[in-house]
Amino acid sequence: MTKSEKIYNLEERTAKFGENIILFCKSVRQDNINKSILNQLVRSGTSVGANYCEADGAESGKDFRHKIAICKKEAKETKHWLRMINKTNSEKTIECRMLWQETQELTLIFSSILLSKNKKKEKI
């Protein structure tokens, strides 16, 4: 995804990310090692968007921060599983790097949201 193609609607961006994770996982060969890693990758990668939807509908500021922190945690976990799948499937390095980069950007976005929400909380 190039800069000009970036999606700035975070709900859509995280949903598209989950879809891309699914498509990527479907393209990886199924063997005993990959199967376990792919399962974890799908779970964490699709969880980012699901938790963002929950954050968007949060009932309080505290609930919002908690859900965004989960988004960040799941994104970081997704980076880990991408690293593992890349290790077992060197032919997928380019795709892994692209997904890893998007995961890194999402992690930074969630970190920024948490930082700004915590600063607002301190001012109150």
Q: Is residue 40 part of a domain?
A: yes
- Give first-to-last CA distance, the chain, whole Å: 39
3-class DSSP assignment, residue 35: helix
Q: What is the pTM of this model?
A: 0.87
- Residues 8-24 have a mean pLDDT of 96
Q: Is residue 86 part of a domain?
A: yes
Q: Is the dihedral of CA 95, 1, 66, 43 positive or negative?
A: negative
CB atoms within 10 A of CB 61: 12
Q: Is the dihedral of CA 23, 29, 34, 35 positive or negative?
A: positive
For 46-68, how does the pLDDT look when each residue is reduced to its tens digit (9 = 90+)?
999 999 999 999 999 999 999 99
Q: 106 with 14: CB under 8 angstroms? A: yes
State the total domains in the chain.
Answer: 1
pLDDT grade, residue 124 (50/70/90)? very low
Q: Is residue 1 part of a domain?
A: no
For 26-48, how does the pLDDT look when each residue is reduced to its tens digit (9 = 90+)?
999 999 999 999 999 999 999 99
CATH number of the domain at 103, please. 1.20.1440.60
The boundaries of the domain holding residue 61 are 8-123
